[in-house]
Amino acid sequence: MKGVVVYSSVYGNTKQVAEAIAGQMRTDGLEVELIGVDDGAPGGVAGDFMFVGSPTRMGRPTKEAKRFLEGLDKEAWKNKPIVVFDTVGPLPKDEEKRKKWLSRIEDSAASRMQKMANERGLTTHPEVLHVAVTGFKGPLASDGLEIARAFTHEFVAALK
């Protein structure tokens, strides 16, 4: 089984999350392709499932992430699960306050990408992955990469 992890990153935080997701997939025994789209969207992307991520910029994904989703081959991906993720912040450094805030996010890059993919007729995973940053440019919250790995592991286990 092959997973594809596609990301856009402004300050490197979303790239770190994408790398953690890809690393967990490898740990779980999968083939992985990791693709950064900030220098342009690649052509035919092939795999059995995909994670697509972007930082949240003013409640939206980056134009590169949006362009990637808009150009994704609908026929090739319409029946393959797509998981969306984002980095969001700045959020509180206190873990409990941060978790409470993350559970209430309604308008973010991930939620908009999920809506965009669904409107195109693509199959999205019902849960989105939000990873907190604790400053405007980062860093990621101390538990951010572990949250990304655990989410990925659970998703992969459900596929098998």
Distance (Å, whole) CA 21 – CA 151: 9
Cβ-Cβ contacts under 8 Å for 10 (sequence gap 6 or more):
55, 57, 62
Q: Would you call 22 helix, strand, or coil by DSSP?
A: helix
Residue 57 forms beta bridges with which residues? 60
Tens of pLDDT along the chain (160 residues) come to 999 999 999 999 999 999 999 999 999 999 999 999 998 767 679 999 999 999 999 889 999 999 999 999 999 999 999 999 999 988 778 888 877 877 777 789 999 999 999 999 999 999 999 999 998 899 999 999 999 999 999 999 999 8
Tell me the chain's radius of gyration from C-alpha atoms: 14
The residues spanned by each domain of the chain are 2-159
- 92 DSSP 8-state letter: -
> What's the pTM?
0.94
According to CATH, the topology of domain 2-159 is Rossmann fold (3.40.50)
Distance (Å, whole) CA 54 – CA 71: 16
Distance (Å, whole) CA 160 – CA 158: 6
Going by C-alpha positions, the residue among 68, 65, 91, 84 that lies closest to residue 21 is: 84
Q: What are phi and psi of 82, to 5 degrees?
A: -120, 125
Cβ-Cβ contacts under 8 Å for 94 (sequence gap 6 or more):
none
